[in-house]
C-alpha cells in the first residue's frame, strides 16, 4: 500500500517538474491546439500545487502524519466536497458496505443522509432497534455517543453506529417540535429486513408494505398480488419510511402496474451515460385502483416508484412530501480493499422533473397521526330499544365476535388499527371511492 501511494506522489512530482518543459514543447510544436494546450497546462499547474501543499503538510504538520494517511485524507476531502453522497471508502468502510449489501449486519437499523449539512435520519427500518426505540424520519443526529456529528461524513457516522450485536450506543437527537435535544439509549442487534409483507383490509383491499428495495421486491409483490387476485378490488402500496435500494427493483415494481411509458431516466455528464427505463405491457399484472403512501422517510427508489406512478396517472399518492434523493451513486474499486462511491447521474421522472432536493409532493397531503374518537355522552341506537331485533351472530354461541377474532389475526388490518394511522385510513377511503367509480 505504502509503495503504491509513494508511486502516486512520485508521479505527481515528476509531472510537476516536467511542467515547464511540457509547456515549452507544446508552444513550439502546437500539436494539440491552443485550447487543449491551455487545459493541459492548467492540469499540470494544479498537480504541482497539490504536490507542494502535500509536501509542506508532511514536513511541518504537528501530528507528523505519514504519506499514507495524508493521501487518504486528501481523497476523503476530495470526494466529500463533491456532494453529500460521494465518499472515499477505506478498507473498514468498504467492508461495511459489502456487509450491508449481503443483507445482514450488526447495527441500529436506520438509514441516514445529509440534509442542509446535518446528519439526518431518512428512515428507521421497521422492527429494528432504532424503530423500537422511537427514532423517526427527519430526526437530526447531533451526537453519536460523545462524538459530535458536525463535519462528520455519512460513512464515518455509519461506522460508529454499527457494531457488535447486544452492545449499547447513545444517540442525541434534535427533533422538530421538541424544545430540547432527545437522548436515546439503544442496544445494537443483527439487522435483517423483511422487505415485503401483505395484509388485507375489509376483505377486498390488499395492503402491501415495502420496507426497502432488495433484489426480490418485485417478485414478492407480484406473487402477493396474484395470490390475492380473486378477492382484491383495490391495492394500497405503503412506501413510508422506505429509504430505497436497487434501481432495477424500483423499475420492475412500477412496471407491475403500468402498461407503457417511461418510468425513470438518468442523465449524467456524458450523453453516453444517459439511460431511460420504460414499462412493458407483458410485465403488467394488475389494473386495479392503486393508492401509494409516502412520507419524508420515503427516499430514492421509493420516490422513483411513487413519482412515476403519479406522473403516469396510475395511482393516487397520499401522505407527506418525500425526502428528495434523486442522484445515482456507483462504487468503483480503487484497490482490492479500497473504493470510491461517486455520484455519476441524476434521476428524472416521466414528466422530466427531478427528485433531487425536491422530493415528490403527494396528491393528497395527510400528516401522520391517529383519529381521535369523541364518545358522545348520550346516544341511542337500535340495540337500546326495548323490542329490537337480535343480531343473528349473537344467537350463535359458538361463533367468535368479529372484532375479537380480527384483533388476533395478523393477516388483516382492523378498524382500530386504521384509526391509529390516519394516512392509511385516508388511503383506504380513497380506494373505496375508486372501487365504486370503477364499478359504475
233 within domain boundaries: yes
Residues 213 and 135 sit within 8 Å (Cβ to Cβ): no
Same domain, yes or no: 256 and 361: yes
110 within domain boundaries: yes
**Domain end: 191, 215, 230, which one?**
191
> Would the pLDDT of 192 be above 50?
yes
> Would the pLDDT of 78 be above 50?
yes
Residue 411 confidence (pLDDT): 84
Give the pLDDT band (50/70/90) at residue 127.
confident
Residue 15 confidence (pLDDT): 36
Average the pLDDT over each of 88-102, 114-128, 234-248, 421-435 and give the range with the smallest value. Answer: 88-102
Residue 20 confidence (pLDDT): 38
Q: Residue 103's closest CA among 213, 257, 184, 243? A: 213
109 within domain boundaries: yes
CA atoms within 13 A on the CB side of 411: 5
Same domain, yes or no: 164 and 146: yes
431 within domain boundaries: no
**What's the CA gap between 100 and 110, in Å, rounded?**
12
**Domain end: 45, 80, 115, which one?**
80
The grid coordinates listed for 381 are 341506537
- pLDDT tens digits along 259-288: 999 999 999 888 877 999 999 999 999 999
Give the pLDDT band (50/70/90) at residue 300.
very high
Q: Containing domain of residue 124, as a range?
A: 104-191
Paired with 105 in beta bridges are 191
> β-strand 147-148 against 140-144: which pairing, if any?
antiparallel
Question: What's the mean pLDDT in 69-93?
Answer: 90
Residue 386 confidence (pLDDT): 55
CA distances to 5, 10, 242 from 214, rounded to whole Å, are 36, 43, 11
35 within domain boundaries: yes
Residues 164 and 188 sit within 8 Å (Cβ to Cβ): yes
Of 302 and 9, more confident:
302
Same domain, yes or no: 351 and 289: yes
Same domain, yes or no: 169 and 28: no
> Would the pLDDT of 429 be above 70?
yes
Same domain, yes or no: 309 and 324: yes
Of 388 and 92, more confident:
92
Same domain, yes or no: 264 and 352: yes
- Cα-based torsion angle of the residue sequence 305, 308, 312, 317 in order, rounded to the nearest 10 degrees: 60
377 within domain boundaries: no
Residue 33 confidence (pLDDT): 66
Average the pLDDT over each of 31-45, 287-301, 384-398 and give the range with the smallest value. Answer: 384-398
Question: What's the mean pLDDT in 48-59?
Answer: 94
> Would the pLDDT of 106 be above 50?
yes
Residues 129 and 190 sit within 8 Å (Cβ to Cβ): no
Residues 324 and 294 sit within 8 Å (Cβ to Cβ): no
- pLDDT tens digits along 134-168: 999 889 999 999 999 988 888 789 889 988 899 99
Residues 341 and 85 sit within 8 Å (Cβ to Cβ): yes
Same domain, yes or no: 174 and 113: yes
Q: How many structural domains are present in the chain?
A: 3
**What's the CA gap between 313 and 292, in Å, rounded?**
12
Of 250 and 385, more confident:
250
The overall average pLDDT reported for the chain is 84
Average the pLDDT over each of 61-65, 93-97, 196-200, 286-290 and give the range with the smallest value. Answer: 93-97
Same domain, yes or no: 249 and 360: yes
Question: What's the mean pLDDT in 208-231?
Answer: 94
The alpha carbon of residue 237 and the mean position of all alpha carbons in its chain are separated, in whole angstroms, by 16
Angle (nearest 5°) at CA 105 between 101 and 107? 120
CA distances to 45, 46, 71, 80 from 52, rounded to whole Å, are 11, 10, 13, 22
**What's the CA gap between 263 and 279, in Å, rounded?**
6
Residue 379 confidence (pLDDT): 59
Q: Phi-psi bin for 297: left (phi > 0), alpha (psi -120 to 50), beta?
A: alpha
Give the pLDDT band (50/70/90) at residue 301.
very high
Question: What's the mean pLDDT in 384-391?
Answer: 55
The grid coordinates listed for 132 are 423500537
Residues of the chain with pLDDT > 90: what percent?
56
- Cα-based torsion angle of the residue sequence 197, 295, 212, 347 in order, rounded to the nearest 10 degrees: 140
> Would the pLDDT of 37 be above 50?
yes
Rg for the chain, CA atoms, rounded: 28
Per-position b or e across 266-302, b if 16+ CB within 10 A of its CB? bbeeeeeeeeebebeeebeebebbbbbbbbbbbbbbb
Residue 399 confidence (pLDDT): 33
CATH code where residue 336 lies: 3.90.226.10
| Active centre residues (catalytic) | 300, 311, 325
Same domain, yes or no: 136 and 280: no
Of 295 and 115, more confident:
295
Element (H, E) at 192: none
Average the pLDDT over each of 176-180, 221-225, 272-276, 382-386 and give the range with the smallest value. Answer: 382-386
Same domain, yes or no: 125 and 271: no
Residue 440 confidence (pLDDT): 62
**Domain end: 176, 191, 206, which one?**
191
The grid coordinates listed for 220 are 414478492
Angle (nearest 5°) at CA 209 between 205 and 215? 130
428 within domain boundaries: no
**What's the CA gap between 236 and 306, in Å, rounded?**
12
Same domain, yes or no: 206 and 265: yes
Residue 14 confidence (pLDDT): 35
> Would the pLDDT of 361 be above 90?
yes
Residue 396 confidence (pLDDT): 40
Place of cell 378490488: 233
Q: Give 281's DSSP letter.
A: G
CATH code where residue 116 lies: 2.30.42.10
**What's the CA gap between 106 and 167, in Å, rounded?**
9
Same domain, yes or no: 184 and 222: no
205 within domain boundaries: yes
Amino acid at each position: 500500500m505504502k509503495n503504491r501511494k509513494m508511486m502516486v506522489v512520485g508521479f505527481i512530482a515528476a509531472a510537476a517538474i516536467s511542467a515547464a518543459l511540457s509547456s515549452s514543447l507544446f508552444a513550439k510544436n502546437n500539436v494539440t491546439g491552443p485550447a487543449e494546450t491551455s487545459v493541459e497546462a492548467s492540469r499540470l499547474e494544479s498537480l504541482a500545487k497539490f504536490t507542494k501543499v502535500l509536501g509542506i503538510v508532511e514536513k511541518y504538520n504537528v501530528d507528523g502524519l505519514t504519506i499514507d494517511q495524508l493521501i487518504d485524507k486528501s481523497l476523503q476531502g476530495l470526494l466529500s466536497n463533491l456532494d453529500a453522497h460521494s465518499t472515499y471508502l477505506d478498507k473498514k468502510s468498504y467492508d461495511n458496505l459489502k456487509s450491508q449489501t449481503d443483507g445482514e449486519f450488526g447495527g441500529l437499523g436506520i438509514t441516514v443522509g445529509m440534509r442542509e449539512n446535518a446528519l439526518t435520519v431518512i428512515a428507521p427500518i421497521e422492527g429494528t432497534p432504532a424503530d423500537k426505540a422511537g427514532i423517526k424520519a427527519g430526526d437530526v443526529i447531533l451526537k453519536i455517543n460523545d462524538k459530535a456529528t458536525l463535519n462528520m461524513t455519512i460513512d464515518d457516522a455509519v461506522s460508529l453506529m454499527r457494531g457488535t450485536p447486544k452492545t449499547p450506543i447513545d444517540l442525541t437527537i434534535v427533533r422538530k417540535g421538541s424544545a430540547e435535544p432527545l437522548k436515546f439509549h439503544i442496544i445494537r442487534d443483527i439487522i435483517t429486513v423483511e422487505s415485503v409483507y401483505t395484509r388485507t383490509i375489509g376483505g377486498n383491499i390488499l395492503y402491501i408494505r415495502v420496507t426497502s428495495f432488495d433484489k426480490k421486491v418485485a417478485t414478492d409483490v407480484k406473487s402477493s398480488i396474484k395470490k390475492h387476485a380473486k378477492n382484491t378490488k383495490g391495492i394500497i402500496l405503503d412506501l413510508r419510511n422506505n429509504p430505497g435500494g436497487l434501481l432495477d427493483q424500483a423499475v420492475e415494481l412500477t412496471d407491475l402496474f403500468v402498461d407503457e411509458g417511461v418510468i425513470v431516466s438518468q442523465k449524467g455528464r456524458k450523453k453516453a451515460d444517459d439511460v431511460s427505463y420504460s414499462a412493458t405491457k407483458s410485465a403488467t399484472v394488475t389494473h386495479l385502483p392503486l393508492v401509494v403512501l409516502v412520507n419524508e422517510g420515503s427516499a430514492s427508489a421509493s420516490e422513483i416508484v411513487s413519482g412515476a406512478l403519479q406522473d403516469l396517472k396510475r395511482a393516487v399518492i397520499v401522505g407527506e412530501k418525500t425526502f428528495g434523493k434523486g442522484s445515482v451513486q456507483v462504487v468503483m474499486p480503487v484497490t482490492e480493499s479500497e473504493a470510491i462511491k461517486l455520484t455519476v447521474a441524476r434521476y428524472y421522472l416521466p414528466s422530466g422533473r427531478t427528485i433531487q432536493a425536491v422530493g415528490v409532493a403527494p396528491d393528497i397531503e395527510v400528516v401522520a397521526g391517529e383519529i381521535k374518537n369523541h364518545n358522545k355522552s348520550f346516544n341511542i341506537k337500535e340495540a337500546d330499544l326495548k323490542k329490537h331485533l337480535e343480531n343473528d351472530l349473537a344467537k350463535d354461541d359458538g361463533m367468535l365476535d368479529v372484532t375479537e377474532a380480527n384483533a388476533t389475526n395478523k393477516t388483516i388490518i382492523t378498524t382500530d388499527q386504521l384509526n391509529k394511522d390516519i394516512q392509511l385510513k385516508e388511503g383506504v377511503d380513497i380506494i373505496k371511492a375508486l372501487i365504486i367509480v370503477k364499478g359504475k
